[in-house]
């Protein structure tokens, strides 16, 4: 790689960073992003580690964000962290990957890299940088383990502790390293032993951190009921969400339109062809892709169910990039069949990611012109139109998280658990009937002697039903604009204390 090529890659990375920063600046934080920030802002490290079992996420991303929150930076610093991570990963892709120009361009313009990973500030956003670093070190650690084993082990440790969906991916790469060095080469050096210790501790840490998640988090409980139905549903949503967000209108959920179904079938066929190409060229990488992505599907089907956002989907696609990176880096590659040549590998991989480009452009433009969440505008209304000692009661505590982050503490109150809200404990986020919620509000207002009480209702629930059931005690003050993210539009009601209370 010449200095000229490095400068060109830096220029393209800068242009990518500039474009995606524009989308970051227009993005309104929503509940899942705010939850991370609220956790690290309000808890100590021991308290945070104890709480993460409820989140179902290991700790690495939270530890990255932790100092930003404790130094009283704004939540925008977390967005910048995720954005910088994606920009750095693009530079690694351009500079060190063995792909041709078409494949590199398709990956960079794909929906994950164009919008979802750099803009939506989640733990998934740091995975591209870590996975690409692992791809660079994979071959180096294989050839020169005494030099690269420890850096490679640290990267794998960070990957496994970023998200549970990468557990099998890291485990198998660890097994490959052990086989190559301990079984095949008999290389029992200090560095190779250190690799095993680091990766082993990292994987054990994931298990220990997440023991009890299924019983503590109602949203991701484990179940194998209706396994065939859930499998079909998950595969359908996975590939539909890959090709595009197809709406009947701006704010409605994804629709099974003919063009979306055709695109999803094409993506599925390309995905299968990618696996076949890996199988024909490198059985090890095929096994890695098949088991690692299969493990992710297992989690989606049995735990996350149909909660398949594009950020999660790209966890699987990053594994695919890693495997193709390793295969295309080989000096020996299949030459007998044109379908499995290096050129063919690049073409199929490029087309696969190019299929997602429209999805990314569409999502980015929606975020620019509409509210991803209406939390910001709703928070401004509450700041300007409620008393300083007002208590705000959400009827469903999870969705207004981004509003909690923007207002002083001791403003939001959970009537079912009798506590002020700073972050969500997921087992507490149940839905309530209007009548039961009304009874809880009246009870808490009476017992706690709240002077000024307001109710915030998420658009996830039937707002007209709420108004119809309790029109006398609740005066509608504010209706936020619609939101792209589910449940992220809100209504504010003033609670009128009944005379008999």
151 and 205 share one domain: yes
Quick one: 402 and 334 in the same domain?
Answer: no
Per-residue pLDDT of the chain (501 residues; tens, 9 = 90+): 788 889 999 999 999 999 999 999 999 999 899 999 999 999 999 999 988 888 888 999 999 999 999 999 999 999 999 999 999 999 999 999 999 999 999 999 999 999 999 999 999 999 999 999 999 999 999 889 999 999 999 999 999 999 999 999 999 999 999 999 988 877 788 999 999 999 999 999 999 888 877 666 666 767 777 788 888 888 887 888 788 754 444 444 456 677 778 888 999 999 999 999 999 989 999 999 999 999 999 888 887 765 677 788 899 999 999 999 999 987 666 555 566 788 889 999 999 999 999 889 988 998 999 899 999 999 999 999 998 888 998 888 888 889 988 887 778 988 888 888 888 887 655 556 777 788 888 888 888 888 889 999 887 665 556 666 666 778 889 999 988 888 888 999 998 876 555
One-letter-per-residue 3-state SS of 367-415: HHHCCCCCHHHHHHHHHHHCCCCCEEEECCCCCCHHHHHHCCCCCEEEC
Domain assignment present for residue 186? The answer is yes
Residue 19 belongs to some domain of the structure: yes
Q: For the beta carbon of residue 36, count every other beta carbon within 10 angstroms.
A: 24
> How far is 230 from 228, CA to CA, in rounded Å?
5
**Residues 451, 459 contacting (CB under 8 angstroms):** no
Three-state secondary-structure class, residue 416? coil
Whole-angstrom distance, CA of residue 309 vs CA of residue 329: 31
In 110-144, where does DSSP find H-type helix? 111, 117-119, 127-143
Pair 358, 412 in one domain: no
CB contact at 8 A, 461 and 431? yes
3-state helix, strand, coil in the chain (%, to 5): 65, 5, 30
Number of alpha helices (DSSP H) and beta strands (DSSP E) in the chain: 23, 6
Question: Minimal CA–CA distance to 497: which of 457, 444, 458?
Answer: 444
Backbone torsion region of residue 408, taken as left when φ is above 0, otherwise alpha when ψ lies between -120 and 50, otherwise beta:
beta
Q: What is the pLDDT of residue 398?
A: 83
Helix (H, G, I), strand (E, B) or coil at 501: coil
Q: Please spell the DSSP secondary structure of 225-275, one letter per residue.
A: TTHHHHHHHHHHHHHHHHH----SSTTSPP---HHHHHHHHHHHHHHHHHH
Tokens (6 digits) for 273: 């062809």
Residues 263, 134 share a domain: yes
> 139, 329 in Cβ contact below 8 A?
yes
Same domain, 315 and 400: no
Residue 89 sits in the same domain as residue 69: yes
CA–CA separation, 436 and 90 (whole Å) = 51
Would residue 500 count as lying in a domain? no
Please report whether residue 162 resides in a domain: yes
Angle, CA 308 vertex, CA 433 and CA 134 arms, to 5°:
140
Contacts of residue 139, defined as CB under 8 A and 6 or more positions apart, other chains included, come to 326, 329
The phi, psi pair for 95, rounded to 5°, reads -90, -40
Q: Examine the domain organization and report whether 279 and 335 are in the same domain.
A: yes
Q: Are 322 and 131 in contact (CB under 8 A)?
A: yes
Q: What is the pLDDT of residues 65-99, one digit of tens each?
A: 999 999 999 999 999 999 999 999 999 999 999 99
Last residue of a domain, one of 321, 341, 369: 369
Give the model's pLDDT for residue 337. Answer: 56
CA 433 to chain centre: 30
Q: What is the pLDDT of residue 83?
A: 98
SS3 107: helix
d(C-alpha 239, C-alpha 356), whole Å: 10
Task: Please check whether residue 345 lies inside any domain of the structure.
Answer: yes
d(CA 233, CA 236): 5
- Residues 224, 179, single domain; the answer is yes
Instruction: For residue 331, give the DSSP letter.
Output: S
Per the structure, the complete domain to which residue 132 belongs is given by: 3-369
In the numeric block, which tokens belong to residue 271? 């995905």
Q: How many Cα atoms occupy the beta-carbon half-sphere of 223 within 13 Å?
A: 13
Indicate the residue among 369, 401, 429 that finishes a domain.
369
Statement to judge: residues 361 and 486 lie in one domain = no
Name the domain boundary from 343, 369, 395.
Answer: 369
Question: What Rg, from alpha-carbon coordinates, does the chain have?
Answer: 24
Report pLDDT digits (tens) over 245-263. 544 444 444 566 777 788 8
Claim to verify: residue 364 and residue 379 sit in the same structural domain: no
8 found inside a domain: yes
Tally of structural domains, the chain: 2
Is 296 contained in some domain? yes
pLDDT one-digit tens code per residue, 105-139: 999 999 999 999 999 999 999 999 999 999 999 99
- Residue 110, in any domain of the structure: yes
Q: Cβ(206)–Cβ(166) under 8 Å?
A: no
Residues 476 and 491 in one domain: yes
- Spatial CA neighbour of 273 closest among 355, 194, 368: 355
Please tell me whether residues 86 and 193 are part of one structural domain.
yes
């Amino acid at each position: 790689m010449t200095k000229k090529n490095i400068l060109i890659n830096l220029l393209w990375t800068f242009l990518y960073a500039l474009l995606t920063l524009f989308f970051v600046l227009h993005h309104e934080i929503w509940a899942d992003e705010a939850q991370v920030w609220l956790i690290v802002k309000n808890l100590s490290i021991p308290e945070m580690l104890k709480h993460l079992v409820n989140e179902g996420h290991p700790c690495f991303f939270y530890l990255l964000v932790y100092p930003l929150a404790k130094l009283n930076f704004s939540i925008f610093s977390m967005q910048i962290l995720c954005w910088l991570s994606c920009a750095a990963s693009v530079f690694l892709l351009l500079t060190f990957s063995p792909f041709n120009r078409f494949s590199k361009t398709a990956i960079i313009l794909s929906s994950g890299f164009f919008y979802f990973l750099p803009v939506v500030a989640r733990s998934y956003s740091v995975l591209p940088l870590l996975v690409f670093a692992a791809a660079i070190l994979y071959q180096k650690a294989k050839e020169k383990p005494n030099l690269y084993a420890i850096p490679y082990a640290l990267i794998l440790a960070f990957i496994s502790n970023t998200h549970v969906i990468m557990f099998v991916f890291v485990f198998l790469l660890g097994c490959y390293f052990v086989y190559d060095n301990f079984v095949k080469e008999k290389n029992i050096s200090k560095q190779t032993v250190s690799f095993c210790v680091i990766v082993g501790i990292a994987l054990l840490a994931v298990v220990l951190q997440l023991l009890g998640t299924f019983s503590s988090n109602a949203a991701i409980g484990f179940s194998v009921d209706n396994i065939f139905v859930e499998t079909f549903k998950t595969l359908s949503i996975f590939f539909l969400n890959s090709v595009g967000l197809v709406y009947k209108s701006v704010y409605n959920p994804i629709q099974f339109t003919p063009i979306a179904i055709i695109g999803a079938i094409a993506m599925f066929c390309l995905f299968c062809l990618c696996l076949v190409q890996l199988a024909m060229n490198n059985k090890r990488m095929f096994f890695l892709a098949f088991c690692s992505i299969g493990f992710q599907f297992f989690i989606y089907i049995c735990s996350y169910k149909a909660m398949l956002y594009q950020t999660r989907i790209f966890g699987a696609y990053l594994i695919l990039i890693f495997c193709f990176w390793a295969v295309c880096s080989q000096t020996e590659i299949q030459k007998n069949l044109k379908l499995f040549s290096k050129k063919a590998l690049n073409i199929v991989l490029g087309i696969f990611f190019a299929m997602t480009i429209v999805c990314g452009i569409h999502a980015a433009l929606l975020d620019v012109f509409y509210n991803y969440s209406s939390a910001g505008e709703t928070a401004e209304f509450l700041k300007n139109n409620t008393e300083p000692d007002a208590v705000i009661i959400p009827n469903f505590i999870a969705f207004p998280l981004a509003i909690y982050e923007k207002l002083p503490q001791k403003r939001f109150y959970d009537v079912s658990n009798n506590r002020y809200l700073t972050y969500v404990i997921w087992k507490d986020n149940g839905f309530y009937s209007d009548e039961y919620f009304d009874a809880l509000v009246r009870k808490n207002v009476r017992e706690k002697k709240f002077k000024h009480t307001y109710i915030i209702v998420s658009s996830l629930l039937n707002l007209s039903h709420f108004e119809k059931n309790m029109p006398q005690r609740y005066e509608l003050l504010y209706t936020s604009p619609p939101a792209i993210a589910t449940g992220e539009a809100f209504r504010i009601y003033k609670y009128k204390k009944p005379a008999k209370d």
